[in-house]
Amino acid sequence: MTTSAELGLPALTVAPGGVATTTLTVRNDLDIVEAYTLEVVGDCAAWTTVEPARVSLFPGTSETVTVRLAPPRSPAARAGEFPLGIRVLPTERPELVTVPETTVTVTPFQELQAALAPRRRRGWLRGRYRTSVRNLGNAPDTVVLTPAQAGEDLRFRATPERLRLEPGESGELRLQARARKLIWFGKQASWPFEVAVGPEPAPAGKAPDGGGKDSKDTKDTKDGKDTGGGAAEGTAAAPTPAAAPAPTPPGAAQRPVLEGEFIQLPIFPKWLLALLAALIALLLAWFALVRPAVRSSAKQAAQQAVAQQSATPAAPAGTPGGGPGVPSGGNPSASGKPGSGQATSSGGRPAPGPGLAEPGTGRQSSATIDVQTGGGAASTGSYQVPHGKVFDMTDLVIANFQGDQGVVTITAGQKVINTIALETFRNQDYHWVTPIQVSEDQAVTASVTCEAPGTPASGKQAATCHELLNISGTLSDIRQGN
């Protein structure tokens, strides 16, 4: 005497989101009235129900109940083959419990959730994006990105190239969009694109469902026959009950398509282009108009200074005047005094004595002192009066034609004539009514301390300071005797 129970189907196939049913027949072979509690056990228990869940049978009678399988369309209902058991537990004779079993095949389905962040990027050449993907299917999946852009103005690179996700698992792929060339000037360009997120294509010769079935099962599935195998990979149609599966053509899965945009900026904006054009126009105006005028003025000033040096007449030696002359530059420090150490008679004429000029022997004479020195240095140039001669200096012209900065000190023998800042003049001349007498073997000296070389008429800054000192006067023999 025992209890017997038998399931209506030895194997079941069900799709997530669908419903499959079978029957369970319970027979009471005891000699008493027995009540039976029906309980689902195994991996399918969470989504399997028995209706009714409790039956009472008279001796020798049986009853058939319905077993309903409804796996959810979620990663919780994993794809694969799972055992299903129904525990039939007698109330009066619990030791006669029995558990009939069958095999349930849950077909795989694919569903991906994806998002692109940010949707818009700006840059000169490339933009970087993040693609978040979650596997909402019930089978492991390898995800790849397939970017596309009309016109092929962008090139794409995904890192990593593929991403394997378990059911319910999330991951991230990085996408780089790179323009084929730079935009130097002009307006920004907008490049919209799309990114399809889907499973990696199955290799040739393999069934696309990935469920371990051979090509014959796949062919039968395509022909609409129920072979008991898994649904084709990539199918996104709503699942149907196992009793009447609908044909699912391969590749019909929905692939999330994400929209993105890369805004390519020009290297140089419009306002910079206008600024460059204005600067070029100013440079052209400088070279065409201003610079020639400056060079012409500087050249003319230099020529006038040289002509004035060579054309200025020297005052005769011993010109009466009584007092010292004042330079034409108006600098009182450049005033001269009657010959140093000379004695004068009551008539105002020089008395004969050693070092005085012999009357009637004077000749006009001039000399140029050229002084060149580097920045931050000092240099000296001089003109020495020959032995047996006396030089009566009446005119002095200083040329600072480069516009140097520094100080020049002019001495005649032991007497300092003047000290001038170079930056205060370009050409300066001095003239004396009473000559400044320089004795034999003494010198007229120009000492230049250079602070910074100037810029001559050529427009290029000079490497050294350069000053010219032209002196003019009368060179006479020394009077001999008393």
What is residue 235's predicted lDDT score, i.e. its pLDDT? 34
161: left (phi over 0), alpha (psi -120 to 50) or beta: alpha
Distance CA 443, CA 75 (A): 110
Q: Is pLDDT larger for residue 215 or for residue 396?
A: 396
* C-beta of residue 449 within 8 angstroms of C-beta of residue 456: no
- The residues, any chain, with a CB within 8 Å of residue 375's CB and separated by 6 or more, are 450, 451, 452, 453, 464, 465
What is residue 198's predicted lDDT score, i.e. its pLDDT? 87
Q: How confident is the model at residue 342 (pLDDT cuts 50, 70, 90)?
A: very low
User: In the predicted model, is pLDDT for residue 53 greater than 70?
Assistant: yes
Which range of 2-16, 55-69, 193-207, 448-462 scores highest in mean pLDDT? It is 55-69
Closest CA to 230 of 320, 332, 138: 138
| Residue ranges with strand state E in 202-311 | 257-264
Least confident range from 89-98, 308-317, 321-330: namely 321-330
Q: How confident is the model at residue 455 (pLDDT cuts 50, 70, 90)?
A: confident
* C-beta of residue 419 within 8 angstroms of C-beta of residue 333: yes
Least confident range from 28-37, 325-334, 442-451: namely 325-334
Q: Average pLDDT of 1-18? A: 88
User: In the predicted model, is pLDDT for residue 403 greater than 60?
Assistant: yes
What is residue 200's predicted lDDT score, i.e. its pLDDT? 77
| DSSP classification of residue 359 | T
Least confident range from 42-46, 314-318, 321-325: namely 321-325
* C-beta of residue 171 within 8 angstroms of C-beta of residue 201: no
Using the CB atoms, write b or e for 85-113: b if 16+ within 10 Å: bbbbbbeeeeebebebebebbbbbbbbbe
What is residue 309's predicted lDDT score, i.e. its pLDDT? 65
* C-beta of residue 172 within 8 angstroms of C-beta of residue 218: no
User: In the predicted model, is pLDDT for residue 307 greater than 90?
Assistant: no
What is residue 240's predicted lDDT score, i.e. its pLDDT? 36
Q: How many CA atoms lie within 13 A of 392 on its CB side?
A: 27
* C-beta of residue 264 within 8 angstroms of C-beta of residue 188: yes
Distance CA 242, CA 250 (A): 19
Q: How confident is the model at residue 355 (pLDDT cuts 50, 70, 90)?
A: low
What is residue 317's predicted lDDT score, i.e. its pLDDT? 43
* C-beta of residue 129 within 8 angstroms of C-beta of residue 192: no
Distance CA 59, CA 57 (A): 6
Amino acid at 250: P
Least confident range from 75-84, 105-114, 164-173, 223-232: namely 223-232
Q: Which helix (H) or strand (E) holds 277?
A: helix 270-285
What is residue 408's predicted lDDT score, i.e. its pLDDT? 94
Q: Average pLDDT of 227-238? A: 35
What is residue 151's predicted lDDT score, i.e. its pLDDT? 81
Q: Average pLDDT of 247-259? A: 63
User: In the predicted model, is pLDDT for residue 407 greater than 80?
Assistant: yes
What is residue 39's predicted lDDT score, i.e. its pLDDT? 94
User: In the predicted model, is pLDDT for residue 450 greater than 70?
Assistant: yes
**Cα–Cα distances in angstroms (integers) from residue 93 to residues 27, 33, 415, 456, in the given order:** 14, 11, 146, 125
β partners of residue 49:
68
**Cα–Cα distances in angstroms (integers) from residue 105 to residues 135, 227, 248, 253, in the given order:** 21, 12, 17, 21
Closest CA to 309 of 364, 390, 367, 363: 367
User: In the predicted model, is pLDDT for residue 287 greater than 50?
Assistant: yes
- By percentage, how much of the chain surpasses pLDDT 70? 77
Amino acid at 198: G
| DSSP classification of residue 288 | I
Q: What size, in residues, is the chain?
A: 482
Cβ-based burial of 442 (10 A; exposed 0-12, middle 13-18, buried ≥19): buried
Q: Is pLDDT larger for residue 481 or for residue 11?
A: 11
Q: How confident is the model at residue 49 (pLDDT cuts 50, 70, 90)?
A: very high
**In this structure, what token pair is assigned to residue 412?**
């005649």
What is residue 341's predicted lDDT score, i.e. its pLDDT? 37
Note the pTM of the prediction, 2 decimals.
0.46
Closest CA to 320 of 350, 342, 354: 350
Q: Average pLDDT of 6-24? A: 92
Distance CA 262, CA 123 (A): 8
Q: Is pLDDT larger for residue 328 or for residue 4?
A: 4
In the chain, count of helices (H) and strands (E)?
Answer: 3, 26
Q: Average pLDDT of 69-93? A: 93
What is residue 203's predicted lDDT score, i.e. its pLDDT? 60
What is residue 213's predicted lDDT score, i.e. its pLDDT? 39
What is residue 478's predicted lDDT score, i.e. its pLDDT? 87
* C-beta of residue 170 within 8 angstroms of C-beta of residue 164: no
User: In the predicted model, is pLDDT for residue 384 greater than 70?
Assistant: yes
Q: How confident is the model at residue 310 (pLDDT cuts 50, 70, 90)?
A: low
Q: Is pLDDT larger for residue 40 or for residue 233?
A: 40
User: In the predicted model, is pLDDT for residue 388 greater than 50?
Assistant: yes
- By percentage, how much of the chain surpasses pLDDT 90? 49
Q: What is the mean pLDDT of the chain?
A: 79
- The residues, any chain, with a CB within 8 Å of residue 247's CB and separated by 6 or more, are 221, 222, 223, 224
Least confident range from 201-215, 273-287, 433-447, 456-470: namely 201-215
Q: Which helix (H) or strand (E) holds 126?
A: strand 126-135
Least confident range from 167-181, 251-265, 366-380: namely 251-265
What is residue 337's predicted lDDT score, i.e. its pLDDT? 39
User: In the predicted model, is pLDDT for residue 202 greater than 80?
Assistant: no
DSSP readout, 140-191? -EEEEEEEE-TTS-EEEEEESSEEEE-TT-EEEEEEEEEESS---SS--EEE
Angle at 248 between CA 247 and CA 252, to 5 degrees: 155
